[in-house]
Amino acid sequence: MISAYRSIATNEMLRARSNGVAQHSQHVLGKAVDVRLDDVDTELLRDTAIQMQRGGVGYYRVSNFVHIDTGRVRRW
């Protein structure tokens, strides 16, 4: 697990460093994780999460992780 719950202060610090961090992040609500599994291809992890249709799925190929949350079903 790369990231899970974030305080508002931590989320704002990350937003200042990157344009890929949402102002109203599901992480701040404790409803999101960013994950990478050593023995599972991140594309497979992404595709599996998308198929489940349980929330948001973000795929970060270059950084090699997948964001999964319990918000509305969407993907990026």
**Mean predicted confidence (pLDDT) in 39-65:** 97
pLDDT at 19 over 90: no
| Helix (H) or strand (E) run with residue 66 in it | strand 65-69
* Predicted confidence (pLDDT) at residue 46 exceeds the cutoff of 90: yes
What is the SS3 assignment for 6? coil
Token pair 């970060």 is found at 60
Please check whether residue 64 is in contact with residue 43, taking contact to mean a CB–CB distance below 8 angstroms: no
Query: Do residues 73 and 53 lie in contact, with contact meaning Cβ atoms separated by under 8 Å?
Result: yes
pLDDT of the residue at 53: 97
Mean pLDDT of 45-67: 97
pTM value > 0.85: yes
- The whole-angstrom distance between residue 3's C-alpha and the CA centroid of its chain comes to 8
Q: What's residue 20's pLDDT?
A: 86
pLDDT class of 34 with cuts at 50, 70, 90: very high
